[in-house]
Amino acid sequence: MFARFLERTVVQRVPCQLYDAWTNMRRRCASDLPAYYKWYKAKGITVCAEWDDYETFRKWALANGFRKGLTLDRIDGNGNYEPSNCRWSTRLEQQNNTSHVIRLTLNGVTRTLPEWSRITGMSKETLRTRRSSGWTDEEILTVPKMNGGLRPGFRRGKGRRVERIGA
């Protein structure tokens, strides 16, 4: 442990977070471990040849907004680690840039489900449930929470069965 500290801080003379970002990026793309493989190596995601050299990566990082607390983020989640596809982002920005994030659009504005939850005051679970029940984005975001969370035009019948009103 102490040797790793010395290697990163004294011998390499690099900020630990930046060096860690570089080594972690390379580890993710080269690893056969299940936690990384299906998201990186199996999808063919690689690190560009110029970033095999830490100093080149470091110069790019410092010239492109690296600062403590930011994380390395691929703009296109299916693209490689290369200067044209990477940026420094907050954890929240990076979480919003993953392939499993649900995006909803209202009046031409697209945001993630957690962002709409904060804006509308409705819980993420309510928004998720409405989406999985087949509601349109507009219904999901504009229908007030009422009627037991059912889609407009429906109610709970006998035995809590969902039925169309007027059917």
pLDDT, tens digit (0-9, with 9 covering 90-100), for 150-162: 666 667 666 666 6
Provide the pLDDT for residue 26: 96
Provide the pLDDT for residue 100: 75
Residue 27 and residue 85 share a domain: yes
When comparing pLDDT for 64 and 152, which is higher? 64
Contact of 29 with 46, CB cutoff 8 Å: yes
Residue 128 and residue 54 share a domain: no
Provide the pLDDT for residue 4: 52
Residue 35 and residue 60 share a domain: yes
Burial 9-25 (b: 16+ CB within 10 A, else e): eeeeebbebbbebbeeb
Residue 149 and residue 78 share a domain: no
Residue 22 and residue 90 share a domain: yes
Residue 107 and residue 62 share a domain: no
Residue 78 and residue 149 share a domain: no
Residue 120 and residue 86 share a domain: no
Burial 100-122 (b: 16+ CB within 10 A, else e): eeeebebeeeebbbebbbeebeb
**Per-residue pLDDT averaged across 70-98, rounded?**
88
Q: Which residue among 39, 64, 95 closes a domain?
A: 95
Total number of domains constituting the chain: 2
Provide the pLDDT for residue 152: 66
Provide the residue range defining the domain that includes 14. 2-95
Provide the pLDDT for residue 14: 46
In the chain, % of residues over pLDDT 70: 77
Q: Which residue among 95, 125, 142 closes a domain?
A: 95
Indicate whether 63 pLDDT > 70.
Answer: yes
Residue 123 and residue 71 share a domain: no
Residue 78 and residue 110 share a domain: no
Residue 122 and residue 66 share a domain: no
**One-letter amino acid of 38:** K
Tens of pLDDT, residues 10-57: 444 445 899 999 999 999 999 998 888 888 999 999 999 999 999 999
Residue 81 and residue 32 share a domain: yes
Lowest average pLDDT, out of 101-105, 113-117, 142-146, goes to 142-146
Q: Which residue among 60, 95, 130 closes a domain?
A: 95
